[in-house]
Amino acid sequence: MKQQAYPASKIKVGTVLYSAFLWNDDDTGIAHVIIDQWHISSMQNKKRSLLTDEKKMRVNIVKSEHVTWECGAWKGGIASNYRHKIWVGEDLPRGIYTTPSAALRYAMDEKQKTITWFGKKIGTEVWNEKYQAEYKIALKEHRLLKSTLTRLKTISVQRPGPVAL
């Protein structure tokens, strides 16, 4: 799934974007899907290059979490893994989409690529027990993503509007 184009006419401060994060608890063996919210925190007119005088609007996208938001304001000095900077007219960062379902579909596509890679290795001399275990985990995570996407679609059909999973 390719990066989402985001037209300049729709970008504004306060817009909420989404990404899906999948992790597997090694102790319990349970996989978890987390849909993170990213907010457009600010937009600034900046020079795009030192060589030209061309000014463009730069968009700052910040992950909404207790780490970045406190007492009704954005914290300063946000770590690089909690922020992205793009220029107006560019595609959104990889994995960040305008809807939770698009973020889940992206995560499913990435997991499918992993499963396909493992599928090509089955039966070769490099296939071992470690690959077998990782392959089973990847299949389980893919099923979880698929069921989460189905549940999200079912909930949004029953109750239009924002959805909490």
The per-residue pLDDT for 98 is 92
Compute the distance between CA of residue 50 and CA of residue 8 in angstroms, rounded to an integer. Answer: 23
pLDDT in tens, 79-99: 777 788 888 888 999 999 999
Q: CB count, 10 Å around CB of 107?
A: 24
> pLDDT above 70 covers what percent of the chain?
82
pLDDT category, 50, cuts 50, 70, 90?
Answer: low
- The structure tokens listed for 64 are 């909404």
Mean pLDDT to the nearest integer, 59-70:
74
Tell me, what DSSP letter sits at residue 120? H
Mean pLDDT rounded to a whole number for the chain: 83
pLDDT per residue as tens digits for the range 3-28: 888 888 888 888 889 999 888 888 88
- Residue 164, pLDDT above cutoff 60: no
Say what angle helices 129-158 and 100-121 make with each other, to 10 degrees.
Answer: 160
pLDDT at position 162 is: 57
Q: Collapsing DSSP states into helix, strand and coil, what is residue 102?
A: helix
Residue 2 has pLDDT above 90, yes or no: no
User: What is the predicted pLDDT for the residue at 158?
Assistant: 61
DSSP structure class, residue 2: P
In terms of Cα–Cα distance, which of 129, 69, 118, 100 is closest to 4? Answer: 100
Instruction: Encode burial over 117-150: b for 16+ CB neighbours within 10 A, e otherwise.
Output: ebeeeeeeeeeeeeeeeebeebeebbebbeebbe
How far is it, in rounded angstroms, from Cα 126 to Cα 113? 18
pLDDT value for 114: 94
Mean pLDDT of 113-132: 90
pTM above threshold 0.85: no
Q: Are 17 and 101 in contact (CB under 8 A)?
A: no
Q: Is the pLDDT of residue 70 over 70?
A: no
